[in-house]
Structure 1
């Protein structure tokens, strides 16, 4: 096998000469020239983040292991076992193999997104993965992680605002988005929503092109794609690969995993890595793969799709040569794999290592430099305030159809009206009913926001992982923008509820008392939302977070100071953890003071402060209660922020 073409020797400028040779080779092919012209346009635009910087990616003896069962048991499973290769500017390297062979793991490792027991050498023009490489790398995941309620243009435009430098104007970024839309064939659906599980949007192929377009905006030198044709018909898959071929023709380094390509797609690859249970059994030119396997005894007399033969071999299934004559029975899969691995070691591995060394730009040992890479400070393209504004605007646009959901509005207003009718004009002498009304008021707006907030971060987990991995924004900017974007709905509904419920229930008809009661409830809403955000961020699972919220609300309900007044000393601390208890106490303190009386019997008046349910809670120290709720508000949100930092 002619491995000399696998690892051409780069010059001292990080592979520039090699990139030019590869580009020339691509231009001589029958690739769609419009994409090549577009790549040249991308490089010539003066307002781009950077000019194209050719990247030679080398990986040698990549090994990745994961623990099976308990960590103390010492059982490990090898996902990747000694994978080596090299891809140059202008080339498309395809990773083939059956499901579970390690393709996605290897791609993730090459994209600098894999942590754990990873060993081997990976270099980008002889340098380790760092901020500079990260900003020149595009990564397209297998699943299209997109906001369903944004249009195609909005999706790409917000990406451009966040990932392109602040030195560019909005008009320049908008022009670049228009270029990407035209060249990816998305003009027809430019103003169509992406779509999601609950409503139909653009097609699967169009979603994949939008995902690729998000990475094209930064003019990437290295583009990694995980199963870009998965779930697409042959025409859509062909269009995606034509796009990638054109991007490679502009001098980019492209690596993609692909499960079972058609023969048309296969012949668009420059190089192929074939994996079988994590071990490589072929690396080299796509055009010479059949000749190589034929040379080691795995030939077929039939005209077949090369990808089909390669996948059969990776599964341990040899070609059906002579089966109809009964003179060549099928071998055991383990024997086939053993033969292929042995041939790889003899015919490919040794020569590949020699040629990689001869073209060495410098090596990078992952284990020795992991801590140094993680400590590398990265320069953000935009300021914190700019990121916050864009993320807030994007969040409001995305949730503009859900912000004032008709069902939620109907739910809140119907409860307000029904409750107001039940407590209609409650006279001051009916102090039991009034206190019950205040307790319900505090409990409802202590628990309703909690249940809504637990969904916030788990639903955006994949988006957060994708965008943070790309270095789009600071986590603090996202956190504050996301929580601030929810405030209009979170505060508008309890305000509307209060206007209905307060006056229908016949509470103290004083403007200042009404305003203070409203502020106390809104304060409780923010605290409840904070606890819900913390639950969601810590667990990152909707079902688990909802279960924990249910248990918490039940405990807070019982210990809220209304149902149980004489709590045993060993568990009395529970009520001091309940924000509903403090809200209930604040509402009582706002409605009553120590000098208020109620008619406890005919022509007999008693002090409200001496009424047992009120006495057990108290009407004093309201500023202390407010301070405790403020500490809860800050503490829960800080806990949620810390929990989000571990989401990778």
Structure 2
């Protein structure tokens, strides 16, 4: 019996006293109108109801044993949406999954790759194995092929139980029949297959060994698929003309009479529930009780095949995820548009500040502050888009116990580093020498170090905002407000900041970056020619108004503050990601 409750303003009972038995070699279809509780029941069966904030009453047993984490790792669970990486090929998708999900204790790397190849051939994916998965705005394989890839991912672990949520959703009838036929073959091999399905064709319907019909969380039928029409005819609900059984069942579960009447739908539903309790419920309970008595051991092989808490060690998880991340990100990070943007801005800066005279301090510090602002916004806005698009993938893969969150997090950070560090280096190499900043290697590398540190801190802020908000538009807006606040308090635009708001500069990335930039170009007691009329007049650089407010001292403190933010923002992002797929930390 399964009771599922959602905690919002009030608790809502979704599933009401359900009981059933599905044996190895059988395929179960869960039918019912939208909102009847099919997906809720499926997530409860897979041990994933806690991820949705629900509460479960009753118990779920597998071959007489209580559901455990060891069992969860060997249950295949296919979500309704095909949650796949769009830029990977079919082969890459399955190989990466095999390397992460199959245990090191019994399989070598080559054996895992061979397992992926075997799944490709088993599911008829050889023709498209080198094609990318694709997505809404990226052409890839067909919908039916994507669904087979999703099922293939779960079949890699050779599960004894395979759960699927609407595996035929969005597919034409022929493709849907092919998918269900494939699942029927898997069940015939000794597996238990259970799925939710909305409105299957009559050919598909009669492939199911058992059918569960739900109406508002109540069971109105559970039994053999071949006898369902006879049962409803026997309780007074015979169809008035020949029709698809699934259409007929959905009409009944929605409260429509066999003649299509909409009158008193609640009475129809209550009549079906009463008929089920009178005719079927006791028989199902008796079958369950008898089966529990017979199963004194796990005779159908739902044992833990991973021999440990994780199928692979941390380093292997990190390495595989890093390799996958690099393959994914190269299409986005190394885009011509992004590189072109940086090149244009760097050349434009070089031309506007072309060989600026050493005495033009205002111009030079203007360039330094522009770099602090540009390389605050740019990496932050890019990093915001790291985690939100991968939320579904992360939730799915973490729920199946593929890897530790720390391995995923570190791989995503490292995968972005090459481009995140290469672009500012290219920018500074062009703009620095064109603009006439101090032409020595020491000053250049000191400026570059400050720039790269600023980029990493701004990237960390983007990671934190993306992980906290998990909505790209909202996170981008919030990031712009924060970064603009940092810029305004950076010490360049406003030099006489009121005391009650001056504290912003102590958390401002722009302020510390600007300070480090000034320190990379100027030193205390350095002088400059401060009058064009009187060439003998010399002034101290530290007394220049725009520099005096920020100061040339405290460089070490600024660097330490930036390092704290570099670690702190990433720590915030990591903690925020714990909300996604929280079954393992």
TM-score, normalised to structure 2, is 0.94
Tell me which residue corresponds to 2:519: 589
Q: Find the aligned partners of 1:503 and 1:362 in 2 and give their Cα distance.
A: 82
- The equivalent of 1:50 in structure 2 is none
Pairwise CA distance, 1:213 = 0.4
Aligned to 1:308, the other structure's residue is in SS state helix
TM superposition shift of 1:544: 1.3
CA contact (8 A) 2:384 2:475 kept: yes
1:297 and 2:232 aligned: no
Match of residue 543 from structure 1: 473
Displacement of 1:426: 1.1
Counterpart of 1:443?
373
Alpha-carbon shift at residue 362 of structure 1 (Å): 11
Is 2:273 the partner of 1:341? yes
1:316 match: secondary structure: coil
Q: Deviations over 1:208-240 (max 9, x none)?
A: 000000011110111000000111111111111
* 2:120 equivalent to 1:181: yes
Equivalent position SS for 2:330: coil
Give the structure 2 partner of residue 11 of structure 1. Answer: none
**1:212 maps to 2:142:** no
Matching of residues 253-332 of structure 1 within 5 Å: 253-320=192-259, 331-332=263-264
1:299 to partner: Cα distance: 0.5
1:638/1:319 CA distance change after superposition, 3 Å: same
Looking at structure 2, the residues matched to 429 and 178 of structure 1 have their Cα atoms a distance apart, in angstroms, of: 68
Name the counterpart of 2:350.
420
Structure 2 match to 1:238? 177
Q: Which residue of structure 2 lines up, in the alignment, with residue 122 of structure 1?
A: 60
Could you list the per-position Cα deviations for residues 107-135 of structure 1 after superposition, in whole angstroms to 9, with x for gaps in the alignment?
00100011222212111222222222012
Q: How does 1:354-503 map to 2 (within 5 A)?
A: 354-360=286-292, 379-503=309-433
Matched, 1:86 2:21: yes
Q: Distance in 2 between matches of 1:331 and 1:551?
A: 56
1:164 and 2:105 matched: no
Is 1:579 the counterpart of 2:509 in the alignment? Answer: yes
The CA deviation string for residues 290-337 of structure 1, in whole angstroms up to 9 with x for no partner, is 1111111001242221111111101111112xx8xxxxx664211110
Contact 2:63 2:292 in 1 (8 A): no
Counterpart pick for 2:561 among 611, 614, 628: 628
1:402 positional shift: 2.0
1:460-492 deviation per Cα after TM superposition (whole angstroms, max 9, x unaligned): 000000100111101000000011000011011
SS in 2 for 1:80: coil
**Where does structure 1 lack aligned partners over 5 or more consecutive residues?**
1-60, 324-328, 364-376
**Equivalent position SS for 1:82:** coil
Q: Does 1:100 align with 2:30?
A: no
Change in CA separation of 1:126 and 1:290 when aligned onto 2, cut-off 3 Å: same
Maintained 8 Å contact 1:228/1:256: yes
- CA distance in 2 between counterparts of 1:145 and 1:421 reads 47
**Could you say which residue in structure 2 is the equivalent of 1:65?**
5
Q: Residues 326-356 of structure 1: CA distance to partner in whole angstroms, max 9, x if unpaired?
A: xxx6642111101101111211223322332
Q: How many residues align?
A: 563
> Is contact 1:131–1:378 with CA below 8 Å preserved after alignment?
no
In structure 2, C-alpha distance between the alignment counterparts of 1:487 and 1:219, rounded to whole Å: 36
- The equivalent residue for 2:44 is 109
What's 1:646 paired with? 579
For structure 2, the 5+ residue unaligned runs are 296-306
TM-score after normalising by structure 1: 0.85
SS, match of residue 36 in structure 2: coil
Cα distance in 2 between the residues matched to 1:605 and 1:433: 18
Does the CA contact (< 8 Å) of 1:156 and 1:213 recur in 2? yes
How far apart are residue 288 of structure 1 and its match?
1.0
Shift of residue 399, structure 1, vs aligned partner: 2.0
Asked if the contact 1:592/1:619 (under 8 Å) is kept, the reply is yes
SS in 1 for 2:357: coil
SS of the aligned residue for 2:256 comes to: coil
Contact 2:90 2:130 in 1 (8 A): yes
State the alpha-carbon separation in 2 of the partners of residues 127 and 639 from structure 1.
39
SS of 2:96's equivalent? Answer: helix
Q: 2 CA distance for matches of 1:575 and 1:621? A: 14
Query: Offset at 1:245?
Result: 0.8
How far off its partner does 1:616 sit?
0.9
Residues 123 and 362, structure 1, Cα contact 8 Å, conserved in 2: no
Contact kept, 8 Å, 2:16 with 2:217, in 1: the verdict is: yes
Out of 75, 78, 84, the residue aligned to residue 137 of structure 1 is: 75
The verdict on how the C-alpha distance between 1:378 and 1:110 changes in structure 2, with shifts beyond 3 A counting, is: farther
Q: Secondary structure at the match of 1:472?
A: coil
Once the two structures are superposed, residues 77-125 of structure 1 have per-residue CA deviations (whole angstroms, 9 ceiling, x without a partner) of 2221222111111111110011111111110010001122221211122
Q: Pick one of 538, 542, 557 that aligns with 1:609.
A: 542
Residues 475-518 of structure 1 show CA distances to partners (whole Å, capped at 9, x for unaligned) of 00000001100001101100000001111110000101101100
Structure 2 distance, partners of 1:170, 1:180, is 16
Deviation at 1:62, TM superposition (A): 0.8
**Structure 1 residue 358: deviation in Å?**
2.9
> Per the alignment, in what secondary structure is the counterpart of residue 21 of structure 2?
strand
Q: How many angstroms apart in 1 are the aligned matches of 2:497 and 2:188?
A: 75
Deviations 1:346-387 (A, max 9, x none): 112233223322332599xxxxxxxxxxxxx96111110011
1:594-624 CA distance string (max 9 Å, x none): 1211111132110001112111111112111
Partners of 1:127 and 1:362 within 8 A in 2: no
